[in-house]
Amino acid sequence: MLVFLFVLLFAGIANAQDKQKSAFGIHFSGFINSQIFYDTRQIIEAREGMVSLLPRNANYDKDGNDINAHPSLNQLAMTSRIRGNISGPMALGAKTSGVIEGDFTGPSNADNNGFRLREAYVKLKWKNNSLLVGLYWHPLYTPDVRPTTIGLNTGAPFHPFSRHNQIRFQQKVGIFKIIAVAASQRDYASDGPDGRTSKYLRNAVLPNLDLQLQITPGKHILGIGLDYKAIVPRLYVKAPDGSEYKTKEKVHSLATVFFAKIEIPLILLKLGSVVGENLTEHIMAGGYIEQLTDTVRHEIKYAPTSQVSAWMDISTKGKKIRYALFAGYSKNLGYNKTKQGKFYGNFNDLSFAYRIAPRVQIYSGKFMLAGELEYTVAAYGKPDSNGLISDSKSFNNLRILAGAFYFF
C-alpha cells in the first residue's frame, strides 16, 4: 500500500511538472553570412573592416605620398548569428518571454571570431505595458526604424549603434507608446583618461536615462526622444609634484533623436536625426574636452562636444528582389567651451562626412544574395580652440561589397 501511494504521489508530481514544462519553449533562428568587400582607401573601421566608418585622413610620407591612399580587400563570415526566442508561463499577471542572441564578431577587435553576447533579456508583457530587463539596443537605436544596410555598420556613424544593459518600461495608450529606460554600459562605453571603459558611467552612480514617445498609426511609426548621461572621467587629479587630489567633476550631456517609418504598398521609407553631445559609445562623432585645469584647487572641469547627423533609408518591398538606398550626413558642431586640455572621443578633426550607399537584395527561399556600393566622404582639418574646422580637405572611399546569407 505504501509503495502504491508513493507511485501515485510521484505520478502526480511528474504530471504537474510536465504541465509546467509544456508552458516553456525555445525557438532558434539566425543566419550564416559571408561577405567580401573591397575598399579604394584605408578606412577607420572595426572587426577587420566589417564595420566601415570613414575614409582615413591623409598620412604623408617624406616624399609627399599619401600612405592611406591604398586599397584593401577582405572576406569574413564572423557576423553569422544565432538567436533563441524563449516563451514561458504567465508571471505576475504578465506573459513572459526572453531572448538570447550571439554572433562571432567578438566583444572587441582583440577577439575577432570570438563568440559574443548581442542580446540577453527577459520581458514581462501585460495588456498595455511591458517591462524588459537585460541587454538590448539603446533607445537611440530603434530596431523597427533602422537602416537595413548589408554592411555591418548599419548606418554608423550617421545612425547610432550600441547595445546597453538596461531596464526598459513601455506604456501603450492607443496609438501612443511611452518608453522610459535606465541603462548602463558594457561593450559600448564612453572614452576617457583610461581609454574606453564603463567605469566613468558607473562612478557617476546614475544610469543613462532616456525618455521616448512613439506614435504608431497603422504600420507607420513617428518618434522623438530625449537622452541624458553623466560620467565621471577621474576620481583624482594628479598635481605637478605627483600628489593626488580627489575630484568628483562630471561631464553632463544631452541628446535628442527624431525618427520615422512610413510604409506604403511598394515603398518602405525610414529616416532619422540625432543632435547630441558626447555620443562616443554610439560610434558617432563627438566626445568631451578638458575645459579648465585649476592648479590651485586641483580640479579639471569638462565640457561636451556636439554633433548633428541625419540619415534616410528607402527600399522597395519585392519578395524576390529589392532595391534600396541609404544616405547619411554628419556635422561637427564644436565644443560648448574653449578647450584647454585633452579631447576624449571620436573624430575630433572631422568637419563633416556623408555617405551614399545603394544596394540590391535577391531572395530565393531561405537564401539571399546582396550587393552594396558604399561611397563615403570625410572632410578633415585642424580644430580651433572651440572645436570648429574652417579649412578642411575631403577624402573619399568606395566600398564594393557582396554578401551571401542563409537564414534558418
Can you tell me the distance from the alpha carbon of 178 to that of 240, in angstroms, rounded to the nearest whole number? 50
Rounded Cα gap, residues 108 and 116, in angstroms: 9
Measured between alpha carbons, how far is 9 from 16 in angstroms, rounded to an integer?
A: 11
Angle at 110 between CA 201 and CA 32, to 5 degrees: 100
Within 13 A of 135's CA, how many CA atoms are on the CB side?
A: 15
pLDDT at position 298, please? 78
Beta strands in 77-193 (DSSP E): 81-87, 95-103, 116-125, 129-137, 163-173, 176-184
Say what the pLDDT of residue 364 is: 97
Say if residues 35 and 403 touch (Cβ distance below 8 Å).
yes
Q: Which amino acid is at 380?
A: Y
What H or E segment, with its residue span, contains residue 390? none
Average pLDDT over residues 153-167: 97
Alpha helices in 187-269 (DSSP H): 199-202
DSSP state of 139: T
**In 147-156, which positions are buried (b, 16+ CB within 10 angstroms) versus exposed (e)?**
bebbbbbbbb
Q: How confident is residue 110, by pLDDT bands cut at 50, 70 and 90?
A: confident
Coil, strand or helix at 389: coil
pTM (two decimals): 0.89
Domains and CATH numbers, the chain: 24-407 (2.40.160.10)
Task: Give 308's contacts (C-beta < 8 A, 6+ positions apart).
Answer: 273, 274, 275, 330, 331, 333
Give per-residue pLDDT as tens, 181-217: 999 999 999 999 999 999 999 999 999 999 999 999 9
- 291: cell is 575645459
pLDDT (tens digit, 9 = 90+) per residue, 68-108? Answer: 999 999 999 999 999 999 999 999 999 999 999 999 988 77
Q: 24-75, pLDDT tens digit by residue? A: 899 999 999 999 999 999 999 999 999 999 999 999 999 999 999 999 999 9
- The confidence score (pLDDT) of residue 22 equals 54
